[in-house]
Amino acid sequence: MKVLVTVKRVIDYNVKVRVKSDNSDVDLANVKMALNPFCEIAVEEAVRLKEAGTASEVVVVSIGPKACQEQIRTALALGADRGIQIETEEAPESLSVAKLLAKVIDEEKPELIIMGKQAIDSDNNQTGQMLAALLDMPQGTFASEVKVEDGKVSVTREVDGGLQTVALNLPAIVTTDLRLNEPRYASLPNIMKAKRKPLDVKTPADLGVEVKAHTKLLKVTPPAERQAGIKVGSVDELVEKLKNEAKVL
Amino acid sequence: MAILVIAEHDNSTLKGATLNAVTAATQMGGDLHVLVAGAGCGAAAEAAAQVAGVSKVLVADAAAYEHQLAENVSKLIAELGKDYSHVVSPATTTGKNVMPRVAALLDVAQVSDITAVESADTFQRPIYAGNAIATVQSLDAIKVITVRGTAFDAAAAEGGSAAVEAVDSVHDAGVSSFVGEEMAVSDRPELTAASVVISGGRGMGNGENFAMLEKVADKLGAAVGASRAAVDAGFVPNDMQVGQTGKIVAPELYIAVGISGAIQHLAGMKDSKIIVAINKDEEAPIFSVADYGLVADLFEAVPELEQKL
């Protein structure tokens, strides 16, 4: 079975985000970029399926400027077989991303598509679900366990208050949550090997998709600053303040 | 044009998150309708009809909608949504699962997890885990929106008297099925819904010591969380993680115990109303966001706190 994984280049999760002084967006100049953590979990899951003999090939797709080839190479170093970059200038909106991916999937015909549940930059949590709708496929979002058996995939989902398990006909789309697995580190030999793995570049025009804006970003502002409060000297004083000043007890 | 709010419910009761979404929808203007899609969900529909400000409740009662499978419910909502200016849902795991599918079926964007309504087409939403706030204008004729419950007050659950109308449309995509569920049987509230959260960090030393936090949590009706450092150290499971890559919480009271305050963690809790930090390192960054800081050994302070509550 062929598995397709999507990856997004985002700011490294350890970096403190700063808003530009003109409030037009966040400032990403000279900031360390990395593979989106949820996408990394998706790659790991696909590679494990291949190691278990369930998957025959793992194809990794990323959308963005040339720099996102770096994240494709990271995924290849983790064990994916080949990469596809869809070259776009800026980050297209989720719906356009879903439309581009739908075309790639029409060509590649994977049986399972594994994606991160959200990217830690835009925090939209929507591309996987949109893609599933466009392809009329079932979806298992926020997965903490994925089992492929008897032509179906069983997905345990992290839902508010617990876990839910659904069975999906293949082909299907799975989006990953944190508990699904712990991604490995790429070894140096695998990083070297990844440089020679095939990586195709396509454009939205090749795929016949018009990248369109459905929203307009009016401004980006820093969140309201929290003022540091006071230090209390004892537990007694803390309880007294919480009761009488903050009135939260 | 009217606004359609998708109810969060378990067929028998209407969940509180619906009430926050109703408040957000009210701010967008327009007649307010609520859709209750489920199976044997009459009681939830009756509850929705009582909510202040709702003028009509649509009930789609069919086996295909029992477990809110996204493949089925999204087709129903997209079909009904064509006649509305806004389709609004709480940003619960159900809403997050279903609504982007609805948006794609309607060929429109989804504006996710809004925290403020500026006008009928302009919304604020946190990006980068709340480290920046984006103001976004939707250019689509139908606006598909999910609402962060902690950012809006709950609408009054009583006082309304909406008409209840049955919807006959049944969509069963037949590609997915519900196998089972395992709901946490803790007496404690869920992390994301709790009004008080007490979290432990690496300073807890090990998983057993979290029992101290649980005792405090039991007295306060609080949920127990953890920092990524505590999760990575193997003290507690991943689902307790509060932070950028874990759960985002905004309770009335957040108590951080033995947590230094890495950016990762602050991103997940800094919208809490009151923050308390207990840490023996007085230079810990957590004190820069805490309303009340106590520089103390947590192994003495936490049991004392429990006694004095």
H, E, C per residue of B116-185: EEEECCEEEEEEHHHCEEEEEEECCCCEEEEECHHHCCCCCCCCCCCEEEECCCCCCCCCEEEEEEEECC
Mutate to test the interface with B, among A164, A212, A236 (most CBs of B within 10 A): A164
Q: Hey, is A119 helix, strand or coil?
A: coil
Per-residue pLDDT of B266-300, as tens digits, reads 989 988 999 999 999 999 999 999 999 999 999 99
Identify the pLDDT of residue B234: 93
Cβ–Cβ of A234/B294 closer than 8 Å? yes
pLDDT in tens, chain A (249 residues): 999 999 999 999 888 899 999 999 999 999 999 999 999 999 999 999 999 999 999 999 999 999 999 999 999 999 999 999 999 988 899 999 999 999 999 999 999 999 999 999 999 999 999 999 999 999 999 999 999 998 999 999 999 878 999 999 999 999 999 889 999 999 999 999 999 999 999 999 999 999 999 999 999 999 888 888 999 999 999 999 999 999 998
> A123 to chain B, minimum CA–CA distance in Å?
6
- Contacts of residue B137 in chain A, CB cutoff 8 Å? 215-216, 218
| CB-nearest partner of B183 from A17, A161, A219 | A161
**Which residues, other chains included, contact B215 with Cβ-Cβ below 8 Å and sequence gap of 6+?**
B303, B306
**Which residues, other chains included, contact B191 with Cβ-Cβ below 8 Å and sequence gap of 6+?**
B197, B223, B224, B225, B240, B242, B247, B249
As a whole number of angstroms, the distance between CA A222 and CA A17 comes to 9
ipTM of the complex: 0.94
- Give the bridge partners for A199, in sequence order: A83
pTM: 0.92
Cβ–Cβ of A164/B140 closer than 8 Å? no
Note whether B202 and B227 are within 8 A (CB): yes
Mean pLDDT of B14-25: 96
- Contacts of residue A17 in chain B, CB cutoff 8 Å? 128, 131-132
Percent of chain A at pLDDT above 90? 91
Q: Is the pLDDT of residue B102 over 80?
A: yes
Identify the pLDDT of residue B63: 97
> A160 to chain B, minimum CA–CA distance in Å?
6
Mean pLDDT of B187-194: 85
B93-105 helix and A127-135 helix, angle to the nearest 10 degrees: 50
Handedness of CA B117, B123, B128, B129 (dihedral sign): positive
Closest CA to B114 of B145, B155, B137, B153: B145
Residue B60: Cβ-neighbour burial (10 angstroms; 0-12, 13-18, 19+): buried
Cβ–Cβ of A160/B94 closer than 8 Å? yes
Per-residue pLDDT of B24-62, as tens digits, reads 999 999 899 999 999 999 999 999 999 999 999 999 999
> A192 to chain B, minimum CA–CA distance in Å?
29
Identify the pLDDT of residue A150: 87
In which element (H, E) is residue A103 found? helix A94-108
A96 to chain B: nearest residue by CA? B109
* B270 to A87, B129, B204, B245, B273: CA distances (angstroms): 37, 10, 21, 14, 8
As a whole number of angstroms, the distance between CA B217 and CA A25 comes to 40
Q: Dump the DSSP string for chain B.
A: -EEEEEPPB-SSSB-THHHHHHHHHHHH-S-EEEEEEESS-HHHHHHHHHSTT--EEEEEE-GGGTT--HHHHHHHHHHHHTTEEEEEEE-SHHHHHHHHHHHHHTT--EEEEE-EEEETTEEEEEEGGGTEEEEEEE-SSSEEEEE-GGGSPPPPSSS---EEEE--------SEEEEEEEE---SSPPTTT-SEEEEE-GGG-SSTTHHHHHHHHHHHT-EEEE-HHHHHTTSS-GGGBBSTTSB----SEEEEES----HHHHHHHTT-SEEEEEES-TT-GGGGT-SEEEES-HHHHHHHHHHH-
Q: Is the pLDDT of residue B184 over 80?
A: no
A234 to chain B: nearest residue by CA? B294
- Contacts of residue A222 in chain B, CB cutoff 8 Å? 131-133
- Contacts of residue A235 in chain B, CB cutoff 8 Å? 294, 296, 301, 304-305, 308
As a whole number of angstroms, the distance between CA A246 and CA B253 comes to 9
- DSSP tally for chain A: helices H, then strands E: 7, 13
Note whether B231 and B241 are within 8 A (CB): yes
Q: What is the mean pLDDT of chain B?
A: 95
- Contacts of residue B308 in chain A, CB cutoff 8 Å? 235-236, 239
- Give the bridge partners for B84, in sequence order: B2
- Contacts of residue A137 in chain B, CB cutoff 8 Å? 175
| CB-nearest partner of B100 from A11, A129, A249 | A129
Cβ–Cβ of A26/B241 closer than 8 Å? no
- Give the bridge partners for B116, in sequence order: B124
CA B116 centroid distance within chain: 15
As a whole number of angstroms, the distance between CA A153 and CA A193 comes to 31
- Contacts of residue A105 in chain B, CB cutoff 8 Å? none
Mean pLDDT of B71-98: 97
Which tokens in the block code for residue A112?
Answer: 């399972």
Cβ–Cβ of A169/B176 closer than 8 Å? yes
Half-sphere exposure of B77 (CA within 13 A, CB side): 38
Characterize B253-274 residue by residue with b for buried, 16 or more Cβ atoms within 10 angstroms of its Cβ, and e for exposed: bbbbbbbbbbbbbbbbbbbbeb
- Contacts of residue A116 in chain B, CB cutoff 8 Å? none
> A155 to chain B, minimum CA–CA distance in Å?
9
- Contacts of residue A217 in chain B, CB cutoff 8 Å? 134-136
Q: Is the pLDDT of residue B104 over 80?
A: yes
Cβ–Cβ of B132/A130 closer than 8 Å? no
B221: left (phi over 0), alpha (psi -120 to 50) or beta: left
Cβ–Cβ of A160/B133 closer than 8 Å? no
Cβ–Cβ of A229/B292 closer than 8 Å? yes
Give the number of A-B residue pairs with CB atoms closer than 8 Å.
Answer: 253
Cβ–Cβ of A166/B176 closer than 8 Å? yes
Mean pLDDT of B222-249: 91
Mutate to test the interface with B, among A214, A237, A244, A245 (most CBs of B within 10 A): A214
Identify the pLDDT of residue A89: 85
> B162 to chain A, minimum CA–CA distance in Å?
28
| CB-nearest partner of B138 from A131, A178, A215 | A215
Cβ–Cβ of B108/A214 closer than 8 Å? yes
Cβ–Cβ of B128/A120 closer than 8 Å? yes
Single-letter code of the amino acid located at A119: A
Cβ–Cβ of A165/B179 closer than 8 Å? yes
Pairing of strands B176-183, A162-169: antiparallel
